Amino acid sequence: MELRQLVSVICVRVKSIAEDKGTSIGSVGADTILLGGIGLDSLDLAVIVVELQEITGKDPFQEGFIEFRTVHELAVLFSNHDR
């Protein structure tokens, strides 16, 4: 999946999680910081990562945790990783 598509998938998911929680988070884009006070918690982020693993069939965390901060940085992990 292309980077642009991945960014868009993550943004849509962040918004739908916020809607489920009944919080409004305004605009979400590539530079949005995932745990930067937009109402997402660690478990929400965990769900997004699991879904990205399912959609792309890739697991950039095979060797363990890797740091990322923004929507874009997370998307990059899933677009560049080779199995």
Partner 1 sequence: MSLFLSKPLSPLNQSARFLEGSIVSTAFDIANRARELAADFQGRRHAWMVRSSQASDVFGALLLCESLQLPLVICHTHLPTEQVREIQESQRVGAVIHPHMQIERLPETTDQKGQESVFSILLMTSGTTGKPKIARHSPLHLLGRMRLVKSDPPAKWLLTYPPTTFAGVQVLLTAVLSGSELICPQNYDIFSLAQSAEELNVSHISGTPTFWRSLLVALGATSKLPALRHVTLGGEISDQATLNRIRQRFPSARIAHIYASTEAGSLFSVHDGKAGFPSAWLEEGVDGTALSVRDDVLWVRSPRRMLEYASDHEALMSQGGWLCTGDRVKIDENRVYFVGRSDQIVNIGGSKVSPADVEAVILQVEGVSDVIVRAVRNPITGFVLAADIVADRGVDQNVLRRLIVSHCRRSLSDFQIPRMIRFLSASMQSYSGKKLTGEKT
Candidate list 5, 12, 31, 69; residue touching partner 1; CB under 8 A: 69
CB of 64 to partner 1, least distance (A): 2
Choose between 12 and 50: whose C-beta lies nearer to partner 1. Answer: 50
Residue 24 lies near partner 1 (rule: CB under 8 A): no
CB of 4 to partner 1, least distance (A): 22
* CA-closest candidate to residue 4, choices 82, 75, 78, 81: 75
State the residues that interact with partner 1 by CB under 8 A: 20, 33-37, 41-47, 49-50, 61, 63-69
